Amino acid sequence: MNDKGAGMRIGRRPGRRILVIGGVLAALAAVAVLAWFLAHRGGAGDSQGPGGRRGRPATTVGVATATQADVPVILDALGTVTPAATVTVRPQVSGVITEILFREGQMVRRGQPLAIIDRRPLQMALMQAEGTLARDAAQLANARLTLTRYKTLQAQDSIARQDVDTQDALARQLAGTVTADRAAVGTARLNLGYSRITAPVSGRVGLRVVDVGNYIGAGDSNGLVVLTQVAPIDVAFTLPQDDVARVQARAAQAVLPVAALDRTRTVSLGHGRFSTLDNRIDPTTGTVRAKARFDNGNGALFPAQFVNVHLQLDTLKAAVVVPVTAVRAGSDGAYVWLLKSDRTVTRRKIVPGPTQADKAVVSQGLKPGERVITEGGDRLTEGGKVQLAGDRPARGGGQGQHGGRRRRGGQAGGGGGAPGGSG
């Protein structure tokens, strides 16, 4: 029994060894197959070129060339059109309005008559003042003649000195009265002129408050009509307090042009010049009020209208310009994707400058003529391959293999034909 059991154990040992050796060989074979597969897969990916690493397709991107241009430095703001002068036309004398000499909304000139107040009471007042002046002037002439006689009698010692002094005082009193009468006549004439209400400034009249036949008082709070000066006209806007120093420095050197645009920023309403800044900063908003003057010859700017203001602060000469979409923001600052000649890209740090519309200025980090990526930059990596939108797609590997097979077949056929030809 012992011999038989020992024989069975001895017979099992070779079988186990065979199984272990087979398992090891199978594992080695699997590792070799996997290594061969990975090696051939990597080689195929590298041979595809435009696909980049591991056979990924090349990213299609948009490209633009950095150029040089003169770029204006513009400050944008929201402004309100403000008339250079707003006047409520009030009469300076009281009376009944007999004539209205303007149309609502009409453009008038300074000194142009707007309305007439009944002149008859004012003419009567002038006549009364002139009559009083004539009476007092005659009394003054008589008093002075009497004074001359008294002085002659005093020289002959025929009259008391007191009578001469009294007559002299009377003549002086009447002279003062005549002066006051002359002032009354001037006032009456002035009031008669005020019966003709004229425009104090040139501008556009609004809707009239009173009509013909109404009585209007001197200095009436409502007045006759409101007159606004629209040519020239001002635009009031606000600027951040950080721009105050730059604006003051540039305004002291040159005239700063200002453009007014409509609500959509597409239609230009006029071009003017910067006037001044306010004398204080609003602490609640951190802004300062500013004003620009426009000629407004075409009347495009209307009082109390909201407009978009472009204040041209400076002009950058021969600045490097790229599309705004080319400039990207990273954790370490702004950068662009630079396209190399071998259709690979590299990341380039830049110092951005002012941005205007669809163009961005690059102060440092880019030269004119270099090409940057404008579209598709989100999928790029350092050194990655790209293709442009106008490039033809690369041919597939299968076609290349078939072509290789055909070439190999042709060579074989050629080799086989040689003996036949020799024969």
With respect to residue 393, please indicate whether it lies within any of the assigned structural domains.
Answer: no
Domain membership of residue 260 (yes or no) is yes
For 177-209, the pLDDT digits (tens) are 999 999 999 999 999 999 999 999 999 999 998
Say if residue 365 is in the same domain as residue 273. no
pLDDT of residue 393: 59
Q: How do residues 377-406 score in pLDDT, each as one tens digit?
A: 888 888 888 888 766 655 544 444 444 444
278 and 362 assigned to the same domain: no
Lowest mean pLDDT among 277-281, 308-312, 330-334: 330-334
Q: DSSP H helical segments within 208-343, as ranges?
A: 244-253
Domain-embedded: residue 394: no
Q: How confident is the model at residue 14 (pLDDT cuts 50, 70, 90)?
A: low
Task: Looking at the structure, tell me whether residues 242 and 300 fall in a common domain.
Answer: yes
| Greatest Cα pair distance in the chain | 198
Q: Closest by alpha carbon to 46, among 398, 387, 331, 385? A: 385
pLDDT tens digits, 15-29: 677 777 777 778 887
Which of the two residues, 47 and 162, has the higher pLDDT score? 162
| pLDDT tens-digit series, residues 105-164 | 999 999 999 999 999 999 999 999 999 999 999 999 999 999 999 999 989 888 899 999
CATH number reported for the structural domain that contains residue 362 in this entry: 2.40.420.20
The dihedral over CA atoms of 226, 232, 235, 239, expressed in degrees to the nearest 10, equals: -140
Nearest Cα to Cα of residue 353 among 74, 65, 63, 62: 74
pLDDT digits (tens, 9 = 90+) for 345-365: 999 999 998 887 788 999 888
Q: Is there a single domain that holds both residue 304 and residue 242?
A: yes
Residue 140 within any structural domain of the chain? yes
Query: How confident is the model over 406-420, as pLDDT tens digits?
Result: 444 444 333 333 333
pLDDT of residue 353: 87
Give the rounded percent of residues in the chain with a pLDDT score beyond 70: 83
- Please tell me whether residues 150 and 98 are part of one structural domain: yes
Buried residues in 350-360 as b, exposed as e (16+ CB within 10 A): bebbbebeeeb
Q: What is the mean pLDDT of residues 228-243?
A: 94
Give the Cα separation of 75 and 373 in Å (integer).
28
Residue 124 lies in a domain: yes
Q: Chain-wide mean pLDDT for the chain?
A: 84
- Kindly report the CATH number assigned to the domain that includes residue 208: 1.10.287.470
Q: Which residue has the higher pLDDT, 376 or 88?
A: 88
SS3 content of the chain, % helix, strand, coil (to 5): 40, 35, 25
Same domain, 98 and 182: yes
Q: In terms of domains, do 263 and 294 share one? A: yes
Domain that holds residue 348: 59-66+327-388
Give the separation between CA 342 and CA 58, rounded to whole angstroms.
13
Q: 229: helix, coil or strand?
A: strand
The answer on 337 and 311 residing in a single domain is no
Q: Rounded mean pLDDT of 67-79?
A: 91
Residues 246, 137 share a domain: no
Same domain, yes or no: 210 and 97: yes
**Per-residue pLDDT, 29:** 79
Domain count across the chain:
4
The CATH number linked to 311 is 2.40.30.170
Residue with more model confidence, 314 or 40: 314
Report DSSP letters for 21-90, one per residue: HHHHHHHHHHHHHHHHHHHHHHHHHHHTSTT-GGGPPPEEEEEEE-EEEEEEEEEEEEEEEEEEEEEEE-
Answer yes or no: do 117 and 165 share one domain: yes
**Within-domain flag for 125:** yes
Answer yes or no: is 403 within a domain: no
pLDDT value at 251 more than 80: yes
Percentage with pLDDT > 90 across the chain: 61
Average pLDDT rounded to a whole number, residues 318-341: 90
pLDDT for res 15:
64
Query: How high is the pLDDT of residue 187?
Result: 96
pLDDT at 200: 94
CA 346 to CA 373: how far, in whole Å? 10
Q: Is the pLDDT of residue 168 over 80?
A: yes
Indicate whether 55 pLDDT > 60. no
- At residue 13, the pLDDT reads 56
Show which of 272, 287, 316 is a domain's final residue.
Answer: 316
Checking if the pLDDT of 212 tops 70, the result is: yes
Q: Of all helices (H) and strands (E), which one includes residue 369?
A: none
Residues 383 and 331 grouped into a single domain:
yes
Instruction: Classify residue 221: in a domain, yes or no.
Output: no
Q: Among the three residues 291, 316, 341, which one is the final residue of a domain in this structure?
A: 316
